[in-house]
Structure 1
Amino acid sequence: MAGSELSIRQVEAFRALMASRTVTRAAHALGVSQPAVSRLLADFEASVGFALFERKHGRLWPTGQAHALHAEVERAFSGFDRVVQAAAQIREQRRGAICVAAAPEFAADFLPRVAAAFAHEHAGVDISLLTLGAAQALERVAAQRCDLAIVGETVSTCGVRLERLGQWPMRGIVPRGHPLARKRALNAAHCEGEAFVSFATGTPERVRIDRLFAECGVTRRTGVEADYAQAVVTLVEAGMGIALIDPVTAAVAGARVAVKRFEPALEVAVMVARNERQETAPLADAFARHAAAALARLR
């Protein structure tokens, strides 16, 4: 029955003959012998059930039916070529999509910069950036609704694997024009009796900062607090007090407030979160490497 023995190799031989019009050139293009091309063409004609070529003056001339069939073959092969191209793009990480969630202290400036550097090396990859609280970001990763999340040091959520990207000391920030802005570095004693802008009660940052000052025996005047580091910077800029913030936020806060080294050092970790059941994706690995490199430059 016509069509019952059709094979991709027969179609390739037909396509090569349509392009070259000689068995010799078609055989060379396919890397096979001339008899093999002739046999493939004969089998193809038997499969489709009609003649495809007429021989005139030593050359093969396609019939009208061959032209009609060739148009369909080219459409099919263009789709196949797109599959091959897509596979190459995926292999070379130039195609696909990645969704990254981040806590607000990383999402405002740091994450877009990492995404831009990543995009330059992975043209064609769609990138989605989400700003979420740390708990929400981990929940998205656990539910496989995003590929990874960048958060501060936190307790892992069920189904999430945390990996430390690096650890850096927090920075002191002071309003410009404040007497402490003239100091090369700040220490806990400098904060005695000073108005202090705190993170919200119960947040990991607040707990660690309060513990540090308690251990140093320093009393601050805490009256204003905020959930996120960017809000803390704005409050300090407005003259509401001094503060300690993470180094990622501090790296871009220098145009608004005076940023100072602080002693004793209060180290904070930056973590990347992945779904522990999901196989590691090359694009997610590449994005995490870009994030780690950007964090290393903060030093």
Structure 2
Amino acid sequence: MNHRQLEVFNAVMISGSASRAAELLQVTQPAVSRAIADLEAAIGFSLFDRVRGRLVPTPEGQMFFSDVRSSFIGLDRLRTSAARIRDFGSGTIRIASLAAYGNTVVPRAIRMFRGQHPDIAITFQIALSAQVRDLVVNGNFSIGLAADEVNLTGVEHRVFSTGRASCVMPPGHPLAAKAVIRPADLDGVPFIALSAEDRARARFNTVLDAAGARPNVVVETPFAATVCALALEGIGVGLTQAVAAEGFLERGLVMRPFEPEVYFKTYLLFRPDTQKSILVKHLVAALMAARDQGPIRTAPSRSRSSACEKASVQRPATSRRTR
């Protein structure tokens, strides 16, 4: 049994006759009949019954064709993959991200990337920063976005964004009347905290300790978007940054800058000791553009409160960052 015999068998099955298969393969009809006979001899059973000069598939032939068809579909996929690798260096791309960017910047970047490469398959996973780092280091993902608490040993990295933190709270909260939130304002206030390993939380706690302020931590979560959701429900005040609040500000969430300034940092991670493909470079460019573009807002309110919130979240592109 050889590939040519299987190719002829596949052509007969999909075309319905030996003559059409011969036209499809650009060979003679006797060559088709000979290849089928050789294949039957090789596998030990009949693929067709000869009925009035026509080839009618036997039940065994139908069963065999199911597997042959699958193998040819696989070959077609391999050809497509080879063409993608030839043109772009890789046929697929895999990216993992921390939740805040995974719900905001990365989807925008994927939209931009697909405008340039609509046929490239993308795998996108949202995970905790430590998991993102492991996915990249183990070679499963080409690109990762992770917060600065991750161990950067053994992974190629660069700063993706650094930005100032703000406090979020529900509309009508007493602190919403303030233009800036200071440590003393948070003393004893129900507070939604980021996870203990979060570097921004550690920096925030250092500032609070220096001022002798102790918020009342009522919920702890690793996700900045969850901080926003809980704050909007009136659970307490939380610390986050603008990109994590996308979609929540439009629903009424109030955001105020915190002083003294506390900063978040996000790293772009790459697989170690590997040359970046063209696709990886293009996706990185899309991530940078999506970061700098920021959210597209519709019909913003011109009220004093909205103007104040807008002032607290609009910063230069290089300072956009969250958990």
Query: Do both proteins adopt the same fold according to a TM-score greater than 0.5, normalized to the shorter chain?
Result: yes
Distance 1:228 1:85, change over 3 A: closer
Residue matched to 2:249 = 254
Distance 1:118 1:195, change over 3 A: same
Counterpart of 1:281 in structure 2: which amino acid? S
**Distance in 1 of aligned mates of 2:116 and 2:86:** 13
For residue 278 of structure 1, the aligned residue among 256, 274, 291 is 274
Would you say the 8 A contact 2:192–2:237 is kept in 1? yes
For residue 270 of structure 1, report the CA deviation from its aligned partner: 1.7
**Distance in 1 of aligned mates of 2:247 and 2:80:** 43
For residue 152 of structure 1, the aligned residue among 136, 142, 147 is 147
CA RMSD of superposed structures (Å): 2.9
Map 1:163-178 to 2 at 5 A.
163-178=158-173
For residue 128 of structure 1, report the CA deviation from its aligned partner: 0.9
SS in structure 1 of the partner of residue 292 of structure 2: helix
For residue 223 of structure 1, the aligned residue among 218, 229, 252 is 218
Counterpart of 1:274 in structure 2: which amino acid? F
Would you say the 8 A contact 2:104–2:246 is kept in 1? no
**Distance in 2 of aligned mates of 1:103 and 1:251:** 15
5+ residue gaps, structure 1 = 1-66, 73-78
Would you say the 8 A contact 1:94–1:123 is kept in 2? no
SS in structure 2 of the partner of residue 222 of structure 1: strand
1:187-207 deviations in Å (ceiling 9; x for gaps): 333223321111123333332
For residue 245 of structure 1, report the CA deviation from its aligned partner: 0.8
For residue 147 of structure 1, report the CA deviation from its aligned partner: 0.7
1:195-250 deviations in Å (ceiling 9; x for gaps): 11111233333322211211233221222212211221121111111111133203
Map 1:134-213 to 2 at 5 A.
134-213=129-208
5+ residue gaps, structure 2 = 1-21, 28-74, 295-314, 316-323
For residue 291 of structure 2, the aligned residue among 287, 291, 295 is 295
SS in structure 1 of the partner of residue 181 of structure 2: strand
Does residue 1:107 correspond to 2:62, yes or no? Answer: no
Would you say the 8 A contact 1:172–1:186 is kept in 2? yes
How many percent of aligned residue pairs carry the same amino acid?
A: 22
**Distance in 2 of aligned mates of 1:100 and 1:70:** 42
Counterpart of 1:282 in structure 2: which amino acid? I
1:69-118 deviations in Å (ceiling 9; x for gaps): 9936xxxxxx9xx979975x656649721100011222223322221121
Map 1:51-62 to 2 at 5 A.
none
Which TM-score applies when normalising by structure 1? 0.66
Does residue 1:71 correspond to 2:23, yes or no? Answer: no
Distance 1:214 1:226, change over 3 A: same
Map 1:76-87 to 2 at 5 A.
87=83
Does residue 1:120 correspond to 2:115, yes or no? Answer: yes
Distance 1:69 1:289, change over 3 A: closer
Count of residue correspondences? 224
**When you count strand as a share of all residues, which structure comes out higher?**
1
Counterpart of 1:216 in structure 2: which amino acid? A
For residue 149 of structure 1, report the CA deviation from its aligned partner: 0.5
Distance 1:264 1:297, change over 3 A: farther
For residue 293 of structure 1, report the CA deviation from its aligned partner: 2.2
Counterpart of 1:133 in structure 2: which amino acid? L
Does residue 1:97 correspond to 2:52, yes or no? Answer: no
For residue 261 of structure 1, report the CA deviation from its aligned partner: 2.2
1:112-141 deviations in Å (ceiling 9; x for gaps): 222112111221111111011111111111
Deviates more, 1:240-249 or 1:252-261: 252-261
For residue 290 of structure 1, report the CA deviation from its aligned partner: 1.6
Deviates more, 1:91-100 or 1:222-231: 91-100
Greater Rg, structure 1 or structure 2? Answer: 1
Which TM-score applies when normalising by structure 2? 0.62
